[in-house]
Amino acid sequence: MKLYSLQLVEKMCRGNQEQVSRMVEVFVEQIMESINEIEAAYIEKDFIRIVRLSHKIKPTLTYFGTDELAEEFLLTEDLLSNEITAPEVDAKVASLKLVAQEVVRQMKNDFNITNT
């Protein structure tokens, strides 16, 4: 099952596949960077930073049609809004990372990206 859709990106790029590919490469790089930052902030119990990072990345998730990943972000953000650490939150942060890694894996495979 494909975890992303490039309909909006293709529309924004007016079908220019080279531009679509560049945008996918940037997304792949930035999403894993963001996930790693969220994970680090969670370890540091910096919930404000997590919310800030989530708000920053959510619009991008919409552009790339990553609905499942966007849902994971929302669920994680909801749990963290209580500023607690619990096994449920640990699992949600881990789930967020797993879904992001799968989206990235699919994009890298579909676009033959090897350098990120």
The pLDDT of residue 104 is 95
Distance between start and end Cα atoms, the chain:
23
Total residue count of the chain as it appears in this document: 116
Residue 31, Cβ neighbours under 10 Å: how many?
A: 21
| Predicted local distance difference test score (pLDDT) of residue 111 | 95
- What integer pLDDT is reported at residue 54 of this predicted model? 85
CB 100 within 8 A of CB 57: no
Enumerate the domain spans of the chain.
7-109
**Confidence (pLDDT) at 61:** 93
pTM of the model: 0.87
Can you give the pLDDT at residue 11? 95
Digits of tens for pLDDT over the chain (116 positions)? 899 999 999 999 998 999 999 999 999 999 999 999 999 998 898 888 988 888 889 889 999 999 999 998 888 878 777 766 678 888 888 898 999 999 999 999 999 998 75
